[in-house]
């Protein structure tokens, strides 16, 4: 097992009040860092004070985007335990992204241990209020100072932590989503399945246009025919039709979302029919026209469940469940958030205790 | 006109001998830097000593890849003038990439002036030997410390300079190219036309596999049908069939290469038939089978012209022109490199003098 050297921050910060948290703007006192060199493998695992670092202007990541990341959460329970949600599943997905980007595999045990140590050290940064959490962002970047296209030979892994406020600060509310019929995020044979910078860069323009038109995010269609549903900007998507919940199958161009996996498992556990299959936007519009479309919701680490109240495809708007939150969306949100914050028993083994406060 | 503040390096480095240059590993004494903030626009244009800089681990570029770059060259002529090749055309393409990535437009005049000042300052870094040059890498990265997907509001532009050796150090030689039939680089509606990190990240895995099989780079096919030819990893591609040179048309998913533009203009000027159109890999293989395929060559800033001696598509290998360099490839290489280094008159207005040594 790799030793982790710890350098403590001179001063400890304080957790802002819940209303000041927002998302992704505030960081804790420490971060975990580990380097890779082709002759040494991953080495020099260390926890150091959070802060800027030095990088070469020729660092490959700035030019060729060889980078991957993860996004997961830790929570403070009512009895002041700090727990993480599916950390090992997230770290395995991290390694899958690494493979797709030709980044060397990490030892999940080492990173998992580091993550626990880091959170233990910064545990007073985990907020307590309902809906708040500690967002965990592990990422790897290529750092060789080399201005030519190739697979890098030097990388740095970071884990940074950010306390985040309740996603639904003003109440659990349905969002409006635009079905994107022009821009494309990812294609079979591309990077769509990886959590990598490239996919998000590809989503910016469409996101901007959608926001101007009053939509929160876009729903991507497949690159080949612009017909089959893929996923939302930072969420997977579910449709409830005739009491069955349906989500696009994993086809290599969408993210294998952790919340998606959780939703499928929970719904099945409840005895619901939960199906992963190819589904076209036409089928969804038809189901709506015939009165069979009951709910639409997104799933992702940030929002957990995000009910969709309106879809707009090529200018045709449909209102889902009259713009109200559906029963299943609500039940899933309540159940998964309760499970994450330790308010219901963890029958799936998804919740791992890190430390107590 | 923006003022450019200059901070000189304490010590000046020396240009290594030609055999030590290689590509993209050595950098000059200074770099140009300029910042963007949404309330200030582009500001604080400055030339400072080349070196590492500070960045937040939460800087958006490291996570979401909002980044663009350019690649162009300056040369030292026989009479010791330093000239740049099509700098304004490159900077206009830079702004086109900016638009695709939702990065604020730059003032081409300002960046052009900065570039000239920077090269003037580091002019002793421009190597002289035939085939050597000063590679110029302007790039923009998003730097907001924010861990959420959105268009950034803070950017930094850099220009760094790297003296590079002759691309064909061991002689002008044909390369072997693998036609990629599994991985995909870019798709209509995506980022393919931009010079952006994402496209290069998407090319790494295929490049690695091809290299293992003894090929220099891959030739990409269209994402939709894997049928039509797009471009090579870092080059556009040309086919000479029945004395006509053909290159894939600009379709939104390939780079509008500067060398491609130069080749088309020069060939036309020579009275050759030079056509931009959709061309399938089948057509190329058929032309070869029927004895009509005379030459294949890539075009790009690094190599200028790169003759292709062998193509391999789904395991079927064809030898082009018996693996020898074609007449047109050779003529184009000689002419364009002569033009760039001031050995023939610049009838196209592509060469701009920066300074004298
Ligand atoms: C593109 C994309 N799809 C889906 C998701 C949802 O995945 P998860 O549930 O693992 O957060 C995310 C999460 O950020 C995402 O970025
Ligand atoms: C993807 C790609 N295509 C084509 C080219 C050739 O473009 P240019 O001739 O402007 O260098 C490059 C150059 O680096 C490239 O990266």
Tens digits of residue pLDDT in A207-262:
999 999 999 999 999 999 999 999 999 999 999 999 999 999 999 999 999 999 99
Radius of gyration of chain A from its Cα atoms, rounded to whole angstroms? 21
Whole-model pTM: value is 0.97
Residue A288 lies in a domain: yes
> Is the model's pLDDT at B336 over the cut of 70?
yes
The distance of A123 to chain B (nearest Cα, Å) reads: 20
* A346 lies in some domain: no
Nearest CA in chain A to B64: A197
The whole-chain average pLDDT of chain A stands at 96
pLDDT digits (tens, 9 = 90+) for A5-20: 999 999 999 999 999 9
Q: How confident is the model at residue B239 (pLDDT cuts 50, 70, 90)?
A: very high
Residue with tokens 């409830």: A240
Kind and range of the H or E run holding B258? helix B258-269
Model confidence at B171: pLDDT above 90:
no
Shortest CA distance from B163: residue in chain A: A147
Contact A55 B52 (CB under 8 A): yes
8 Å CB contact between B199 and B191: yes
Domain boundary among A166, A199, A233: A166
Write out pLDDT tens, residues A287-332.
999 999 999 999 999 999 999 999 999 999 999 999 999 999 999 9
Which of the listed residues B251, B301, B304, B332 should we mutate to test ligand 2's pocket, taking the one with most ligand atoms within 8 A of CB? Answer: B301
Do A157 and A205 belong together in one domain?
no
Contacts of A46 in chain B (CB under 8 A): none
Whether residue B128 sits in one domain with residue B255: no
Same domain for B10 and B123, yes or no, is yes
**b vs e for A154-179, b when ≥16 Cβ sit within 10 Å of the residue's Cβ?**
bbbbbbbbbbbbbbeeeebebbbbbb
A258 lines ligand 1 (CB under 6 A): yes
Residue A87 shares a structural domain with residue A204: no
Q: Are residues A152 and A181 in the same domain?
A: no
Distances (CA, A) of B163 to B30, B67, B124, B132: 13, 23, 10, 8
- Domain assignment present for B130: yes
Does residue A348 lie in a domain region?
A: no
The number of domains in chain A is 2
Structure confidence at residue A171 (pLDDT): 78
Tell me which chain A residues have a C-beta less than 8 angstroms from the C-beta of B205: 100-102
Q: What is the CATH classification number for the domain harbouring B200?
A: 3.20.10.10
Question: Cβ of A183: how many Cβ atoms within 10 Å?
Answer: 22
- Structural domain of B239: 175-340
Residues of B in contact with A163 (CB under 8 A): none
Q: Considering only CA atoms, which residue is closest to atom 2 of ligand 1?
A: A234
Query: How confident is the model over A32-68, as pLDDT tens digits?
Result: 999 999 999 999 999 999 999 999 999 999 999 999 9
Q: Whose CA is nearest to atom 1 of ligand 2?
A: B234
Do A193 and A300 lie in a common domain? yes
CB contact at 8 A, B141 and B69: no
Q: Which tokens is A97 given?
A: 């992204």
Note whether B327 and B182 are same-domain residues: yes
Nearest CB among B183, B185, B201 relative to A65 is that of B201
Predicted local confidence at residue A1, as pLDDT: 54
Task: Find the B64 Cα to ligand 1 centroid distance in Å.
Answer: 13
Q: Confidence band (pLDDT; 50, 70, 90) for B79?
A: very high
A255 and A186 assigned to the same domain? yes
Residues 300 to 339 of B: which have CB under 8 A from any A CB? 302
- Any residues with CB less than 8 A from the CB of B281 and at least 6 apart, and which? B179, B219, B221, B227, B228, B229, B313
Q: Which of B35, B53, B58 should one mutate to test binding to chain A, selecting the residue with the greatest count of A CBs within 10 A?
A: B58
User: Would you say the C-alpha torsion B256, B259, B263, B266 has a positive or negative sign?
Assistant: positive
C-beta separation of B202 from A149 below 8 A = no
Q: Is the CB of A236 under 6 A from ligand 1?
A: yes
Interface of B with A in 198-217 (CB under 8 A): 198-205, 207-208
| Residues contacting B319, CB < 8 A, separation 6+ | B309, B310
* CATH number for the domain that contains residue A104: 3.30.470.10
Which residue has the CA at smallest separation from atom 1 of ligand 1?
A234
Residues B162 and B298 in one domain: no
* Interval between CA A71 and ligand 1 midpoint (Å): 8
A253 and A122 together in one domain? no
Segment B85-108, tens digit of pLDDT:
999 999 999 999 999 999 999 999
Q: Which of B106, B141, B166 is the last residue of a domain?
A: B166
Residue A151 located in a structural domain: yes
In a domain, A298, yes or no: yes
Do residues A194 and A312 both lie within one domain?
yes
Q: Which of A166, A184, A206 is the last residue of a domain?
A: A166
Ligand nearest to C-alpha A192: 1
Instruction: For residues A181 and A317, state if they share a domain.
Output: yes
Separation of CA A283 from chain center: 27
Query: Best residue in B62, B73, B216, B301 to probe A by mutation, most A CBs within 10 Å?
Result: B62
- What is the reported pLDDT for B1? 53
Residue range A106-154, pLDDT digits in tens: 999 999 999 999 999 999 999 999 999 999 999 999 999 999 999 999 9
Q: Could you tell me the two tokens for A288?
A: 């709506």
How many interface pairs between A and B have CB atoms less than 8 angstroms apart? 207
Q: Where is B275: in which H helix or E strand?
A: strand B273-276
- Residue B162: name the closest of B135, B182, B133 by CA: B135
Q: Which of A26, A47, A62 to mutate to test the interface with B (most CBs of B within 10 A)?
A: A62
Rounded distance between C-alpha atoms, residue A51 and residue B54, angstroms: 10
Tell whether A316 is covered by a domain: yes
Q: Which pLDDT belongs to residue B328?
A: 98
Instruction: Report the nearest atom of ligand 2 relative to the CA of B231.
Output: 3
The answer to whether residue B119 is domain-embedded is yes
Nearest to B101 among A67, A160, A204 (CB): A204
Residue whose CA is closest, atom 14 of ligand 2?
A: B234
Backbone angles phi, psi at B250, to 5 degrees: -75, 115
Phi (first) and psi of residue B319, to 5 degrees: -100, 125
Q: How far is the CA of B48 from the centre of ligand 2 (A)?
A: 28
Secondary structure string (H, E, C) spanning B145-169: ECCCCCCCCEEEEEEEEEEECCCCC
């Amino acid at each position: 097992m790799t030793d982790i050297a710890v350098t403590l921050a001179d001063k400890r910060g304080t957790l802002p009040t819940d209303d000041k948290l927002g998302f992704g703007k505030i960081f804790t006192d420490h971060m975990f860092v580990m380097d890779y060199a082709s002759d040494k493998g991953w080495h020099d695992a260390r926890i150091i004070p959070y802060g800027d670092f030095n990088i070469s202007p020729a660092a490959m990541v700035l030019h060729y985007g060889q980078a991957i990341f993860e996004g997961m959460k830790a929570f403070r329970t009512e009895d002041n335990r700090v727990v993480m949600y599916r950390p090992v599943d997230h770290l395995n997905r991290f390694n899958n992204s690494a493979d797709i980007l030709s980044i060397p595999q990490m030892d999940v045990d080492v990173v998992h241990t580091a993550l626990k140590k880091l959170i233990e050290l910064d545990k007073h940064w985990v907020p307590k209020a309902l809906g708040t959490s500690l967002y965990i962002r592990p990422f790897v970047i290529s750092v060789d100072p080399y201005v030519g296209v190739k697979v890098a030979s030097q990388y740095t892994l970071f884990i940074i932590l950010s306390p985040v406020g309740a996603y639904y600060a003003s109440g659990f509310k349905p969002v409006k989503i635009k079905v994107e019929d022009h821009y494309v995020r990812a294609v079979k044979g591309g990077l769509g399945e990886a959590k990598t910078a490239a996919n998000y860069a590809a989503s910016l323009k469409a996101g901007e246009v959608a926001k101007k038109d009053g939509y929160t995010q876009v729903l991507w269609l497949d690159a080949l025919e612009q017909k089959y549903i893929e996923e939302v900007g930072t969420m997977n998507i579910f449709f409830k039709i005739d009491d069955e919940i349906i989500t696009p199958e994993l086809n290599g161009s969408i993210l294998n979302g952790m919340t998606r996996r959780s939703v499928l498992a929970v719904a099945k556990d409840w005895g619901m029919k939960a199906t992963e299959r190819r589904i076209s936007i036409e089928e969804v519009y038809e189901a709506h026209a015939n009165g069979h479309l009951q709910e639409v919701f997104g799933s992702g680490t940030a929002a957990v469940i995000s009910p969709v109240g309106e879809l707009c495809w090529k200018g045709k708007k449909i209102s889902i469940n009259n713009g109200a939150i559906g029963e299943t969306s609500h039940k899933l949100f309540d159940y998964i958030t309760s499970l994450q914050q330790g308010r219901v028993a963890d029958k799936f083994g998804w919740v791992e205790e890190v430390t107590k406060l």
